[in-house]
């Protein structure tokens, strides 16, 4: 078990957020809230990275053009800083380029992927560099790659001295062992870290076997437990559009049966989950408190849970948003 901090009292305070999907606005708020609330540990539970780049193309006459939120924009260099901030704020990656490079990318999908990886990795390093600036040294920051995060993300986390990669590790959180994974049951989007519940259950059992006391542990599993109300998502048709009945979106449980089985079997102190953005809330499964903060990353909104506990029980479970 990896000790991460010296406890200053008999209680431990954590801030848990998840599914930032490249939103720099949400990430900065996460770090600022961790500092303001003087938490012992800030935990980001998965899906750190964004999903697309927005080329900002240099044109003649010192102008720049880009397509963003359904509109074409043409700006001068004076507007660059705001454009970069706006694009990063909702989880996209701005990419300064020229018309020749854009034309080359149009005919080469591998180059598009290469550029995306370069921008994604440099952005993530910049995010982690903010930790030392924004967060007190006594607060530890733990992140766990989620199903949408590509595998190079693991190395970026491991190589940065100011952040801890939780995937598959046992981490001491105020005397409680925390085990984490960003792997989930299959989704319609066929993302990087998905596997059938049977394989996921084997993975979870392997991780849990590292614990000395599962009943006192924290399960930081990105997928929420099945039929927990923390996993309700829109039912989709074959084209991945939400299905409506009587003018309302049909919601169905899409969480992991493996995660549910592990919680019911081991009854840990706390379950930290995400993945399903619409299903924010908290419930109890047996004696286990389970939370999903939800996500509004595209609006730059931070959703999180402030949780405080001692050696035996949780006495604060507060959802925050801002």
Q: Which domains does the chain have, with CATH numbers?
A: 12-51+119-321 (3.60.21.10), 53-118 (no CATH)
Place of tokens 């081991």: 266
* Mean predicted confidence (pLDDT) in 70-81: 94
* Mean predicted confidence (pLDDT) in 70-84: 94
Q: 19 pLDDT exceeds 90?
A: yes
Spatial distance between the Cα atoms of 76 and 99, rounded to a whole number of angstroms: 16
Q: 316 pLDDT exceeds 50?
A: yes
* Mean predicted confidence (pLDDT) in 57-82: 94
Q: 147 pLDDT exceeds 60?
A: yes
Q: What angle do CA 111, 114, 117 make, to 5 degrees?
A: 150
Report the percent of the chain where pLDDT is more than 90.
90
Q: 261 pLDDT exceeds 50?
A: yes
> What count of other Cβ atoms lies within 10 Å of the Cβ of residue 143?
28
Q: 20 pLDDT exceeds 50?
A: yes
> What count of other Cβ atoms lies within 10 Å of the Cβ of residue 93?
23
Nearest alpha-carbon partner for 1 in 206, 216, 212: 212
pLDDT at 135: 97
pLDDT at 61: 87
**What does pLDDT average to over the chain?**
94
Residue 245 main-chain phi, psi, to 5 deg: -135, 125
Q: 8 pLDDT exceeds 70?
A: no
Q: Specify the length of the chain in residues.
A: 322
Tell me the pTM.
0.93
Spatial distance between the Cα atoms of 305 and 311, rounded to a whole number of angstroms: 19
Report the percent of the chain where pLDDT is more than 70.
97
Checking 188-191 for CB contacts under 8 A at 24+ apart, the result is 188/236, 188/240, 189/240, 191/147, 191/148
User: Which strands sit side by side in the sheet containing 53-58, from one edge to the other?
Assistant: 71-76, 63-68, 53-58, 93-98
pLDDT at 9: 57
Comparing 5-14, 87-96, 177-186, 226-235, which segment has the lowest mean pLDDT? 5-14
Spatial distance between the Cα atoms of 258 and 185, rounded to a whole number of angstroms: 8
Q: Grade residue 312 by pLDDT with cuts at 50, 70 and 90.
A: confident
pLDDT digits (tens, 9 = 90+) for 26-50: 999 999 999 999 999 999 999 999 9
* Mean predicted confidence (pLDDT) in 196-215: 98
* One-character DSSP codes across 141-185: EEE---TTS-THHHHHHHH-TT-EE-BT-EEEETTEEEEEE--BS
CB 256 within 8 A of CB 197: yes
pLDDT at 12: 97
């Amino acid at each position: 078990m990896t000790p991460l901090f010296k406890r200053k009292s008999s209680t431990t305070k954590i801030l848990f957020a998840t599914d930032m999907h490249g939103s720099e606005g949400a990430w900065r708020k996460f770090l600022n809230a961790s500092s303001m609330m003087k938490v012992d540990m800030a935990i980001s539970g998965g899906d750190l990275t964004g999903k697309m780049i927005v080329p900002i193309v240099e044109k003649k006459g010192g102008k720049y053009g880009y397509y963003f939120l359904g509109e074409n924009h043409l700006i001068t260099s004076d507007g660059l800083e705001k454009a970069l901030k706006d694009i990063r704020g909702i989880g996209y990656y701005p990419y300064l380029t020229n018309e020749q490079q854009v034309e080359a990318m149009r005919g080469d999908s591998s180059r598009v992927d290469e550029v995306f990886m370069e921008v994604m990795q440099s952005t993530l390093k910049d995010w982690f560099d903010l930790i030392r600036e924004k967060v007190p040294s006594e607060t530890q920051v733990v992140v766990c790659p989620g199903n949408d995060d590509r595998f190079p993300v693991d190395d970026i986390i491991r190589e940065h001295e100011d952040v801890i990669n939780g995937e598959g590790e046992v981490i001491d959180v105020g005397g409680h062992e925390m085990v984490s994974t960003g792997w989930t049951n299959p989704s319609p989007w066929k993302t990087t870290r998905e596997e059938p519940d049977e394989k996921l259950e084997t993975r979870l059992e392997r991780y849990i076997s590292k614990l000395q006391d599962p009943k006192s542990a924290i399960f930081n599993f990105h997928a929420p437990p099945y039929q927990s109300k923390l996993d309700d998502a829109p039912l989709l048709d074959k084209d991945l559009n939400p299905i409506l009945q009587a003018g309302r979106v049909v919601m169905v449980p899409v969480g992991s049966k493996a995660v549910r089985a592990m919680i019911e079997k081991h009854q840990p102190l706390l379950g930290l989950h995400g993945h399903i953005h619409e299903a924010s809330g908290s419930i109890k499964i047996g004696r286990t408190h389970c939370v999903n903060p939800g996500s509004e990353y595209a609006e730059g909104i931070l959703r999180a849970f402030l949780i405080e506990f001692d050696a035996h029980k949780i006495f604060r479970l507060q959802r925050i948003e801002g």
